[in-house]
Amino acid sequence: MQNISIFFIIEMIGTVAFASSGAMVAIKKELDLLGVVVLGVTTAVGGGMLRDIILGNVPPALFMNPVYVIAGFLTVLVLFTVVRLNQMILESRSIEMYERVMNIFDAVGLGAFTVTGINTAVMAGYGDYRFLAVFLGVLTGVGGGVLRDIMAGQTPYILRKHFYACASIIGAIVYTYLLEFAGGDFAVVVSACLVVVIRLLATRYCWNLPKATKKKKEVV
Amino acid sequence: MQNISIFFIIEMIGTVAFASSGAMVAIKKELDLLGVVVLGVTTAVGGGMLRDIILGNVPPALFMNPVYVIAGFLTVLVLFTVVRLNQMILESRSIEMYERVMNIFDAVGLGAFTVTGINTAVMAGYGDYRFLAVFLGVLTGVGGGVLRDIMAGQTPYILRKHFYACASIIGAIVYTYLLEFAGGDFAVVVSACLVVVIRLLATRYCWNLPKATKKKKEVV
Amino acid sequence: MQNISIFFIIEMIGTVAFASSGAMVAIKKELDLLGVVVLGVTTAVGGGMLRDIILGNVPPALFMNPVYVIAGFLTVLVLFTVVRLNQMILESRSIEMYERVMNIFDAVGLGAFTVTGINTAVMAGYGDYRFLAVFLGVLTGVGGGVLRDIMAGQTPYILRKHFYACASIIGAIVYTYLLEFAGGDFAVVVSACLVVVIRLLATRYCWNLPKATKKKKEVV
220 residues of chain B, pLDDT tens digit each = 455 677 888 889 999 999 999 999 999 888 999 999 999 999 999 999 999 999 999 999 999 999 999 999 999 999 999 999 988 877 788 888 888 888 899 999 999 999 999 999 999 999 899 999 999 999 999 999 999 999 988 888 877 766 889 999 999 999 999 998 877 788 999 999 999 999 999 888 888 888 888 765 444 4
The two most distant CA atoms of chain A are separated, in Å, by 63
- Name the minimum distance, in Å, from the CA of A147 to any CA of chain C: 10
Chain A partners within 8 Å of C154 (Cβ): none
- Give me the mean pLDDT over the A135-160 stretch: 90
C-alpha span between C144 and C24 (Å, rounded)? 14
Q: How many CB pairs under 8 A join B and C?
A: 76
A-interface mutation test, from C31, C36, C77, C80, most A Cβ less than 10 A away: C31
C-alpha span between B62 and B46 (Å, rounded)? 9
Nearest to B191 by CA among B112, B128, B127: B112
- Identify any residues that bridge with A211 across adjacent strands, giving them in sequence order: C32
- Give me the mean pLDDT over the C13-38 stretch: 92
**pLDDT value of position A97:** 87
C-alpha span between C186 and A183 (Å, rounded)? 55
**pLDDT value of position A1:** 45
C-interface mutation test, from B20, B24, B31, most C Cβ less than 10 A away: B31
| Residue A87: pLDDT band with limits 50, 70, 90 | confident
Q: What does pLDDT average to over chain C?
A: 89
Give me the half-sphere count of Cα atoms (radius 13 Å) on the Cβ side of residue C11.
Answer: 20
Nearest to C79 by CA among C94, C65, C63, C67: C94
Helix H segments across A29-156?
A: 33-55, 61-64, 67-85, 93-121, 130-151
Q: Compare all CA atoms of chain A with the CA of B211 and give the residue at the minimum distance.
A: A32
In 10 A of CB B100, how many CB atoms?
11
Contact of B154 with chain A, judged by CB distance below 8 Å, is answered with: yes
User: Do the chains contact at C212 and B150, CB–CB below 8 Å?
Assistant: no
> What is the value of ipTM here, to two decimals?
0.87
- Identify any residues that bridge with B32 across adjacent strands, giving them in sequence order: C211
A153: exposed, middle or buried (Cβ count in 10 Å: 0-12, 13-18, 19+): middle
| Residue A35: pLDDT band with limits 50, 70, 90 | very high
8 Å CB contact between C138 and C114: yes
Contact of C156 with chain B, judged by CB distance below 8 Å, is answered with: yes
Instruction: Please give the residue that has the higher pLDDT: either C220 or A49.
Output: A49
Neighbours of chain A (3+ CB pairs under 8 A): B, C
In 10 A of CB C113, how many CB atoms?
31
| Residue A2: pLDDT band with limits 50, 70, 90 | low
**Across the interface, which of A30, A39, A58 has its CB nearest the CB of B213?**
A30
**Across the interface, which of A32, A36, A63 has its CB nearest the CB of B208?**
A32
Contact of B211 with chain A, judged by CB distance below 8 Å, is answered with: yes
B-interface mutation test, from C58, C138, C206, C211, most B Cβ less than 10 A away: C211
8 Å CB contact between B107 and B195: yes
- Name the minimum distance, in Å, from the CA of C142 to any CA of chain B: 13
B143's CB contacts (< 8 A; 6+ apart) are B46, B47, B48, B49, B50, B51
**pLDDT value of position B219:** 44
Contact of A90 with chain B, judged by CB distance below 8 Å, is answered with: yes
Whether C55 has a pLDDT exceeding 70, the answer reads yes
Chain C partners within 8 Å of B34 (Cβ): 158-159, 165-166, 209
C-alpha span between C92 and C82 (Å, rounded)? 13
One-letter amino acid of C19: A
C70-100 burial string, b = 16+ CB within 10 Å, else e? ebbbebbbebbeebbeeeeeeeeeeeeebee
Chain A partners within 8 Å of C60 (Cβ): 54
